[in-house]
Amino acid sequence: MIKLLGKLRSASRLAFPWMDEPLPEQVDHLDRDSLNNRWSNLAASTGAENSKNKSMRRTNTSGVNGVSWNTATGRWKADVTVSGKQHHLGYFDDIDEAAAVVAEFRAANGFSPGHGQEHAKYASAAL
């Protein structure tokens, strides 16, 4: 964060006007590391675009983004959210099969290949 004109601003957003680019709605860190503010790692983005390059949530217990255990069915459930709409992709006996279906759906819907692959690195975690 950088204080500019009495207001805190993220360094990644301020990089855009510094590089003679318009200030974007959001900034996507392509490698999902918010500490890496190299120009080559930054991309102007919307909220919808940025959500397609998220890291795995720290609360994930299955180890596969978009796959969770469903106690009622005793099977793995595959779900993906796109533009605020949740898509149920089915129930599976095998976690790898559920993961493959999720990966295929994401590839067909413009998600980055690294979406959900690792936990994010955030500036606050380094403090």
Q: Which residue has the higher pLDDT, 115 or 5?
A: 5
pTM of the model: 0.70
Mean per-residue pLDDT of the chain: 87
DSSP alpha helices (H): ranges in the chain? 11-18, 47-50, 95-108, 123-126
The answer to whether residues 27 and 43 touch, using CB atoms and an 8 Å cutoff, is yes
- pLDDT band at 127; cut points 50, 70, 90: very low
State pLDDT tens for residues 85-111. Answer: 999 999 999 999 999 999 999 999 988
Residue ranges of domains in the chain, CATH in brackets: 1-53 (no CATH), 57-120 (3.30.730)
Mean pLDDT of all residues in 53-70: 88
Nearest partner of 61 among 76, 73, 50, judged by Cα: 76
Nearest partner of 10 among 24, 20, 21, judged by Cα: 24
Gap between the Cα atoms of 119 and 56, Å rounded: 5
Gap between the Cα atoms of 57 and 86, Å rounded: 17
What residues pair up with 87 in beta bridges, in sequence order? 80
